[in-house]
Structure 1
């Protein structure tokens, strides 16, 4: 198995075979990264890789990675570790919306369990598994793909423009929990070179939203901005440029 060139920056993106994850992979390839596309279904991942190769990209590969499965995550870690000694960027993009019914009183316990297993525990599984490779990078970056609907401050504010229609109890609760995980992870690594942030890509036209919303290219750019921030950049913050077009930072 051929090793990746030492000076080439590497990134692992979970849920990368379609939607925002796929577009993020495409744009990071254009920036010269070697991209590992983490995909629950390897066949779908290979289809995504082939699509990117038709665009002229060669420094990439699909990695079977189900964030809800410990053995799958560790298998992915073993595979990536055979190709590189360091990981510059981890983008925890894989997520599910919790499915209907979305209300706090209507959603069943299995909905909560499945959504938290993917959106919160899955992020922890992957982050912990790849932490040793991230520590070997000069300037490691972690982006946890979140959502403005996970903001407690916004969800409880009747003046928020999305107050009356952004009520997805299971999904929002999972993203609020993910945000807290981001805070603690950034705190534990505050004396290191790590930069770790929660980033909302915005309401985007993908399968996740039934093809409603903004352009996927813009959503990917919002994620990448915090995946490549310099050493003076923020850590332990929550950003949604769709919500706050001035500074991007929004309240927890």
Structure 2
């Protein structure tokens, strides 16, 4: 590989990395609202030790992940749920009102006397608005009012097939996102690029008056015969969100 090619790959990796210090994720659970707590620091994901961990700490974690609260936590997880690599945080002490885990007191990054059998596992509750089944977003456009249509269902974002998707469906998308339904444009054939993962909706048919895309008729969640080259995209006509 040439030095130029290597430089391009390194640049792409840097641009593609959106993690920031203190970002959180839940790993290893059956659903996206549960799992081993991992925190991002110095280019690495690492775990959180369960020493003195309580429900207030779990609540801050879930709120940072845009859930309303926490239901349970586990101090000594099964072998399958234990992490590897760095243990970034130990002796975490939150009041429960903090907006991020790193706002709480802890020993300092990497200052831990723990082993991975003490990795904390959390289950969150109360999906936020952007994690409810049927929530939609527009992805990979130049602004939030345009892009590939993606819909959230059962813990996953997926795309919508362009089969039978028309301007009436486009108006429902824009209205659901809080934009004007005037001058809507629907683009077929992955105009804003192909998505990945599930294709949740196919053969969507809307009258145009529905409050959300999931109120329209379709083949059913996950029932489709499409490829991602058929992902539908929408441009909403007004960049200003409606009050």
Specify the TM-score bucket, using the shorter chain as the normaliser.
under 0.3
Higher strand share: 2
TM-score by length of 1: 0.26
Which structure has more relative contact order (CA 8 Å, sep 6+)? It is: 1
Larger radius of gyration: 2
